[in-house]
Amino acid sequence: MIKNYLKTTWRNLTANKLSAIINIGGLAVGMTASFLLILYVYNEFSYDRFNKNSDRLFLVFKNLPDNGEVKTNPVTPAPLADVLKNSFPGIENVARVSYPAKNLLCYDDKRIKFSIVSAEQDLLKMFSFDFVQGDYKTALSDPSDIILTQSTANAIFGNADPIGKIIKYKNQYPLTVKAVIKDNPVNSSLSFQAITTWDFYMNQEPWRKDAGWSMFDYSSYVLLKKGVKLSDLNAGIKKIIAKYNPEDSKIELFLYPLTKLHLYNEFKNGVNVGGRIEYVRLFLVLAILILIIACVNFMNLSTALSEKKIREVGIHKTMGATRAVIMKNFLGTAILTSFIALIIALVLIFLLLPVFNSILGIQLILPYKDFFAWLSVLAIAFITALLAGSYPAVFFSSFKPIRALKGLTNPAGSMVKTRQALVVLQFIFAVCLIISSIVIYRQVNYIKNRPLGYNINSLIEMPTNEKLSSSFELFREEAIKKGAISDAAISSISITGYGPSSWGLIWPDQLPGQDKIAIDCIGTTYHFIDTYGLTIVEGRDFETGRPADSGAVILNEAAVKLMRLKKPVGTEITWQNEKRIIIGVIKNFVWGSPYESSKPLIIGFVKDWVGNVGIRLNPAKPALQSLSVLQSIHAKYNPDYPFEYTFTDESFRKKLIDEKVLGIISASFTVLTIFISCLGLFGLAVFSAMQRTKEIGVRKILGASVGRITVMLSIDFLKLVVIAFLVAFPVSWWLMNKWLANFYYKVNIDWWIFLLAGITVMLIAFLTISTQAIKTALANPVKSLRTE
**pLDDT tens digit string along 329-374?**
777 777 888 888 899 999 999 998 988 888 777 788 888 777 888 8
d(CA 112, CA 642): 7
For the cut 80, the answer to whether the pLDDT of residue 81 exceeds it is: yes
Contacts of 433 (CB under 8 A, 6+ apart): 666, 669, 670, 673
**Alpha helix locations (H) across 158-259?**
198-204, 207-211, 230-237, 240-244
CB atoms near residue 350 (< 10 Å): 10
Q: What is the mean pLDDT of residues 5-21?
A: 59
Strand partners, 111: 106
CA distance 398 to 419: 16
Query: What tens digit of pLDDT does each residue of 277-319 get?
Result: 888 888 888 888 888 888 877 777 666 555 556 666 666 656 6
DSSP state of 247: G
Strand partners, 266: 274
Phi-psi region at 43: left, alpha or beta (left = phi > 0; alpha = psi -120 to 50): alpha
What percent of the chain is helix, strand and coil (3-state, nearest 5)?
55, 20, 30
Classify strands 173-181 and 145-149 as parallel, antiparallel or unpaired: parallel
Q: Is the pLDDT of residue 415 over 60?
A: no
pLDDT-wise least confident of 257-261, 335-339, 467-471: 335-339
**Res 399 pLDDT > 70:** no
Confidence band for 522, pLDDT divided at 50, 70 and 90: very high
- What is the arithmetic mean of pLDDT over 575-580? 89
Kind of pairing between the strands at 578-586 and 252-257: unpaired
> CB of 244 within 8 A of CB of 83?
yes
Interatomic CA distance for residues 424 and 725, integer angstroms = 9
**Does residue 100 contact residue 79 with C-beta atoms inside 8 Å?**
no
In the predicted model, what is the mean pLDDT of residues 178-193?
Answer: 93
> What single-letter amino acid sits at 667?
A
For 83, what's the count of Cα atoms within 13 Å in the CB-facing half-sphere?
Answer: 19
Do residues 187 and 50 lie in contact, with contact meaning Cβ atoms separated by under 8 Å? yes
Whether the per-residue pLDDT at 209 is higher than 80: the answer is no
pLDDT at 734 over 80: yes
- Tell whether the torsion through CA atoms of 209, 213, 217 and 222 is positive or negative: positive
Cα(734)–Cα(732) distance, integer angstroms: 5
Selection from 36-40, 476-480, 609-613, 636-640 with the highest mean pLDDT: 476-480
Q: What is the pLDDT of residue 326?
A: 66
**pLDDT range class, residue 407, cuts 50, 70, 90:** low
Contact 537, 582 (CB under 8 A): no
Instruction: Give the pLDDT band (50/70/90) at residue 1.
Output: very low
Closest CA to 281 of 94, 44, 80, 466: 44
Looking at residue 780, its pLDDT comes to 65
Alpha carbon distance 33, 42 (integer Å): 14
* 3-class secondary structure per residue, 695-753: HHHHHHHCCCCHHHHHHHHHHHHHHHHHHHHHHHHHHHHHHHHHHHCCCCCCCCCCHHH
Q: Cβ distance 344 to 29 under 8 Å?
A: no
Question: CA-to-CA distance for 499 and 521, rounded, in angstroms?
Answer: 6
Count of Cβ atoms closer than 10 Å to residue 707 Cβ = 11
d(CA 750, CA 736): 12
Residues β-bridged to residue 268: 271
Residue 93's beta-bridge partner residues? 223
> Does 625 have pLDDT greater than 90?
yes
Letter string b/e over residues 454-466, b meaning 16 or more CB atoms within 10 A of that residue's CB: bebebbbbbbbbe
Taking CA atoms, 72 is separated from 265, 269, 549, in Å, by: 10, 8, 34
- If you average pLDDT over each of 128-132, 639-643, 671-675, 678-682, which comes out highest? 128-132
Instruction: Residue 170: count other Cβ atoms within 10 Å of its Cβ.
Output: 16
Q: Vertex 102, ends 99 and 107: CA angle to 5°?
A: 130
Given CA atoms 403, 408, 409, 411 in this order, what sign does their dihedral have? negative
587, 537 Cβ separation under 8 angstroms = yes
The better pLDDT of the pair 781, 428 is held by 428
- d(CA 295, CA 306) in angstroms, rounded, equals 17
- The residue with greater pLDDT, 357 or 211, is 357
Q: Is the pLDDT of residue 384 over 90?
A: no
Q: What pLDDT band is residue 412 in, cutting at 50, 70 and 90?
A: very low
Which helix (H) or strand (E) is 146 found in, with range? strand 145-149
Return the C-alpha torsion angle 565, 570, 571, 577, nearest 10: 140
| Per-residue pLDDT at 713 | 72
Is residue 259 predicted with pLDDT exceeding 90? yes
Cα 532 from Cα 528, distance rounded (Å): 6
Could you give phi then psi for residue 761, rounded to 5 degrees?
-70, -40
User: Mean per-residue pLDDT for 54-76?
Assistant: 88
Q: How many Cβ atoms sit within 10 Å of the Cβ of residue 412?
A: 10
pLDDT computed for residue 128 by the predictor: 93
Pairing type for strands 552-556 and 578-586 reads: parallel
pLDDT of residue 253: 94
| Dist. CA 568–CA 566, nearest whole Å | 6
Burial status of residue 320 (CB atoms within 10 A of its CB: 0-12, 13-18, 19 or more): exposed
Residue 26 exposure: Cα atoms within 13 Å on the Cβ side: 34
Can you tell me the distance from the alpha carbon of 34 to that of 676, in angstroms, rounded to the nearest whole number? 13
Neighbours of 425 (CB within 10 A): 18
Rg (CA), the chain: 34
pLDDT band at residue 13 using 50, 70 and 90 as cut-offs: low
Amino acid identity, residue 233?
L
Question: How confident is the model over 542-558, as pLDDT tens digits?
Answer: 998 888 999 999 999 99
* pLDDT for 270: 83
**CB neighbours (10 Å) of residue 86?**
10
Answer for the pair 621, 484: CB distance below 8 angstroms, yes or no: yes
* Distance, CA of 246 to chain centre: 40
Nearest to residue 194, comparing CAs of 217, 221, 169?
A: 169
| Measured distance CA(377)–CA(642) in Å, rounded | 47
Give the residues across from 499 on adjacent strands: none
| Local confidence band at 608 (pLDDT 50, 70, 90 cut-offs) | confident
Residue type, 266: E
For residue 236, the number of C-alpha atoms closer than 13 Å in the C-beta half-sphere is 13
Phi and psi of 614, rounded to 5°?
-95, 130
The DSSP line for 41-54 is: HHHHHTTTTTSTTG
Instruction: Say yes or no to pLDDT of 420 above 80.
Output: no
Which carries the bigger pLDDT value, residue 266 or residue 716? Answer: 266
Phi, psi for 775 (deg, rounded to 5): -60, -45
Query: Each residue of 16-49: pLDDT tens digit?
Result: 566 677 778 888 888 898 899 899 898 899 999 9
In 3D space, the residue among 570, 575, 473 whose CA is nearest the CA of residue 522 turns out to be: 575
SS3 682: helix
Mean pLDDT of the chain: 84
Of 297, 608, 627, 660, give the one whose Cα is nearest residue 444: 660
Distance CA 291, CA 297 (A): 10
Answer whether 719's CB lies under 8 Å from 424's CB.
no
| Alpha-carbon distance values, 24 to 45, 338, 343, 549 (Å) | 30, 7, 10, 74
Question: What is the mean pLDDT of the segment spanning 228-256?
Answer: 90
Contact predicate 233/109, CB 8 Å: no
**Percentage above 70 pLDDT, the chain:** 86
